[in-house]
A and B are shown apart, each in its own frame.
Chain A
Amino acid sequence: MTGFEDVRDRLEELPDAALVVSFLVGIWLLLTALAFSVGGAQSANLAAGFVGSVTVLVGAYAILTLALNLQWGYTGLFNIGIAGFMAVGAYTTAILTAPVDPGAGGVPGFGLPLWVGLLGGMVMAAIVGAIAALPALRLRADYLAIVTVALSEIIRLFVNWGGVAEVQVFGKRFGTGGATGISFESPDEIVATLVNGPGQPLVTAAESVGISGPNVVNMAYGLSLLGIAAGSYWVLSRLVNSPFGRVLKAIREDETVTQSLGKDTRLFKIKAFMIGCALMGLAGALFRGSAGYISPAQFRPVITFYVFAALIIGGSGSNTGSILGAATFSALLFYLPARLGEYVPTFGQSAPGNVFEAVAALGSLDPTPLVAYTVSNVSTLRFVLIGVVLVYIIQNQPAGLLGHRNEPATSVDLTRPHAADGGEADE
């Protein structure tokens, strides 16, 4: 019986993994096809560049969306200060790992190894999350939203402030670099060292088909982020498929009832909020700071709304949905349109400088300038598309791709124990 249940459990798990993998492979193939149709002799390298960049995006957004899913999808905490918590994580990592003696123009830091910096960033993001959460978690969802977005702007304005660009505390010099930003131990560089060291045969093989070394590194970095996303998925799945997750869901549904059933809901909310913020902090450092440099402009509130769009598309309340949503958003809505605008030919003519010239040409019955203008400005229009998709989904598919699925929050099999006569025997 145990063996049978084991096999069935695995079969039930398989579709999710298969779904995610086939989704990703589909995206890679699509981009490869695009590269080969526009790339000419450089096709392979172009394809590698596309695939690498998109993988970085998918991995980063997957971590962020999973984190938001824990807070919003499971617990109902409407956090729209994601950018702020990313900034806390990224800046903490940066300050901890920036060189002690950066040379002219640089901001000194503590020169610690990257993994210490990342851990510190996660802890600090969680702490800031807790400080924000303690008073704010009793607020209505929309008030919490406004508090968190205001907090994220305060954080951004603070790190942007010249007064903390470089400070001296107990003889130790460090700072945020103010508006110019801060350079620190580059995560990308570490991956590059690994790829160019032990991975040298791989690079040689790639170069033989025309793929440049930096593109191999980029792909490796994307895969590392995907790995971290997979790890987050594993942790979060266990976390929510448990009595802990059950309480979170119950809080989302009705906090008063949950309290009346003997659960100290504040504690659960703070924990969920802190875990989510820690992951956001990690993503902030590894995504925004991938090249070993961050500045306040990278943490504007708009990125928060991208993550929200990803979660709504994927289906809030589902971890698998979160990953699919992150992939759909970052690859198909964010990355692909920009590449299309870049590489799709515009009838052999250059696009007009502004939309009015394009429209004016319509008067002489020539639509090509307008089309050319539209294509060349597709990277702007994709945000209009994202907005429209968001509205469409909320109106027509509020559960997103996978949010409608019933995923009971439990660590065990829920079939009636004695129905199969021997349910107790499996212990």
Chain B
Amino acid sequence: MGIAETVSDGRRLAIERPDAGAVAAVLLYLVADLTTKLLGTTVYALGFRVMGGSLTVGSLASMAVDGLLVGLAVGLAGIGLSMTYSILDFANFAHGDTVTVGAFLGWVAAYVTANLAVSAPLTDLFLFNGGAQLSASASWALVLFGLVVAALGTVAVVLVVDRLVYRPMRDSGSISLLIASIGVALALRYLIAFVFSTQTSGVATSGARLQLFAGVAITDNEIALLVVSVVLMLGVHLLLQRTKLGKAMRAMADNEDLARVTGIPTERVVRLTWVLGGALAGTSGYLLVLESGTISFNFGWILLLLIFAAVIVGGIGSIYGAMAGGVLIGLVDSLALIWLPSGLTRAAAFAVLIVVLLLRPSGIFGGVSTA
């Protein structure tokens, strides 16, 4: 596409959709500003600094890596939220606490097993006290074991919750289900607090550090997060594309009534949705704790809005959208630091969520295809 064409496209956009035009203008400015910052120059107009400053490639890259890592985990969690949103047709406000459940189940399993030989009392170990912290390189088998427990345990919890709460409400409206999920969120969160108390515990620490370039380093735990997320995303892709059940799920996400008429076993698909969504939520929670090193009873709840942002930016019901949306939101969350003080970067991610919902509720990648 030639420049003239782009310019005329831009002009048309600005006239036909002034809101989208404004967004495009802001994005254009940010890119230009970022470029001048990287070049180390500053542009002044009328005595005011218009753009520029200084930013090293190295700090940009490490911010991007941070954002990518968090974004992958958020995207992984987002897949489950996106699937329940489209297939069961409600915004599941308990999804963040499902992430927490997975993290606790997985880390209790890994931490206690790893420290069995330590003389600390077992009851302390269950609360992440008195043992050694884990790293992906030093105790990869145990970390992997915890990951599996996180996935399976979350699936079990999620299926029980579905049986008790959502299944009796299959015919209810999406708002009733949403309110029920708020109840589930409270119950799960404070059951965790009841068992594990409200303190923040350290469970993981990096065992090795790999220098990449320009001072950018990545730890073994971060590499584990990266590898596992990418592998799981590929797995989800294959599942949806290659298996019959995957196709049924995509069909149901598109049009539930039609799927039912064409004889797709909807209740089985619903169960599989919970299984898949729960497993991914649990693993993402587990991986996030591996990356950050600490665990607390409400970290998933705090993360929930970020996961929603990923799903909505990616387009509700789109699996790939959730992954891409996660990465995008993760990047916004960390790269916003270039322009905003550290206290406001999270607000920037939420602002992106609001802008997308207002201007393009089908999501940036949504409306193209389901999968």
Contact = CB atoms under 8 A, between A and B. Distances in A.
Interface in A168-193: none
Interface string A336-359: 000000000000000000111100
Contact of B183 (A163, A357, A390): A390
B122 A356 contact: yes
Given A143-B361, A150-B354, A390 B179 contact: yes
A78 B175 contact: yes
Contact of A142 (B168, B178, B186, B305): B178
Contacts of A160: 343
A253 to B, nearest CB: 13
A409 B16 CA distance: 41
Contacts of A360: 122-123
A7 interface: no
A374 to B, nearest CB: 8
Interface string A348-386: 000000111100100000000000000001001101101
B193 A380 contact: yes
Most buried by A among B186, B341, B354: B186
Contacts of B347: 153-154, 157-158
A208 interface: no
Contact of A390 (B186, B343, B344): B186
Most buried by B among A136, A140, A143: A143
Given A357-B123, A384-B190, A139 B358 contact: yes
A308 interface: yes
B357 A394 contact: no
Contacts of A153: 305, 346-347, 350
Interface in A131-175: 135-136, 139-143, 145-147, 149-151, 153-154, 157-158, 160-163
Contacts of A154: 347, 350-351, 354
Interface in B303-329: 305, 308-309, 312
Nearest to B351: A154
Interface string B93-127: 00000000000000000000000000000110011
A398 interface: yes
Nearest to B344: A161
B185 interface: yes
A312 interface: yes
A387 B185 contact: yes
A312 B179 contact: yes
A142 B189 contact: no
Contacts of A387: 182-188, 190
B231 interface: no
Task: Tell me what chain B mostly uses at the interface: helix, strand, loop, or mixed.
Answer: helix
Contacts of B187: 383-384, 387-388, 391
A234 interface: no
Contacts of B45: none
B159 to A, nearest CB: 16
A389 interface: yes
A115 interface: no
B176 A398 contact: yes
Contacts of B172: 394, 398
A15 to B, nearest CB: 28
B361 A150 contact: no
A389 B193 CA distance: 18
A406 interface: no
A308 B198 CA distance: 24
B195 interface: yes
B64 interface: no
B186 A355 contact: no
A162 B176 CA distance: 39
A388 B361 contact: no
Q: How large is the interface on A (under 10, 10 to 19, 20 to 34, 35 or more residues)?
A: 35 or more
Most buried by B among A136, A150, A162, A380: A150
A187 B323 CA distance: 49
B343 A157 contact: yes
Given A150-B350, A154-B347, A394-B179, A380 B194 contact: yes
Contacts of A308: 179, 182
Contacts of A163: 341, 343-344
A354 B197 contact: yes
A146 B176 contact: no
Contacts of B193: 380, 383
Given A158-B347, A308-B182, A384 B191 contact: yes
Contacts of B305: 146, 149-150, 153
B186 A305 contact: yes
Contact of B189 (A135, A143, A383): A383
A2 interface: no
Contacts of A136: 354, 357-358
A250 to B, nearest CB: 18
A135 B361 CA distance: 12
Contact of B341 (A141, A142, A149, A162): A162
B165 interface: yes
B35 interface: no
A383 B297 CA distance: 13
B180 interface: yes
B353 interface: yes
B169 interface: yes
Contacts of A157: 343-344, 346-347, 350
B90 interface: yes
Interface string A255-291: 0000000000000000000000000000000000000
A381 B175 CA distance: 26
Interface in B150-182: 164-165, 168-169, 172, 174-176, 178-180, 182
Given A355-B195, A356-B126, A383 B190 contact: yes
A309 B181 CA distance: 12
Given A161-B343, A383-B189, A356 B127 contact: yes
Contacts of B83: none
B344 A142 contact: no
Contacts of A135: 358
Contacts of A145: 91, 178
A146 B357 contact: yes
15 contacts: A146-B312, A150-B308, A151-B350, A151-B354, A153-B346, A163-B343, A163-B344, A308-B182, A360-B123, A383-B189, A384-B187, A386-B183, A387-B187, A394-B183, A395-B165
Interface of A: 78, 135-136, 139-143, 145-147, 149-151, 153-154, 157-158, 160-163, 305, 308-309, 312, 354-357, 360, 377, 380-381, 383-384, 386-391, 394-395, 398
Shortest 10 CB-CB contacts between residues of A and residues of B: A390-B183, A387-B187, A387-B186, A383-B190, A356-B123, A391-B183, A161-B343, A150-B350, A387-B183, A157-B347
Given A150-B353, A381-B194, A394-B180, 20 more contacts: A136-B354, A136-B358, A143-B312, A143-B357, A145-B91, A150-B305, A150-B351, A153-B350, A154-B351, A157-B343, A356-B122, A360-B122, A380-B190, A384-B187, A384-B190, A386-B183, A387-B186, A395-B180, A398-B172, A398-B176
Interface of B: 90-91, 122-123, 126-127, 164-165, 168-169, 172, 174-176, 178-180, 182-191, 193-195, 197-198, 305, 308-309, 312, 341, 343-344, 346-347, 350-351, 353-354, 357-358, 361
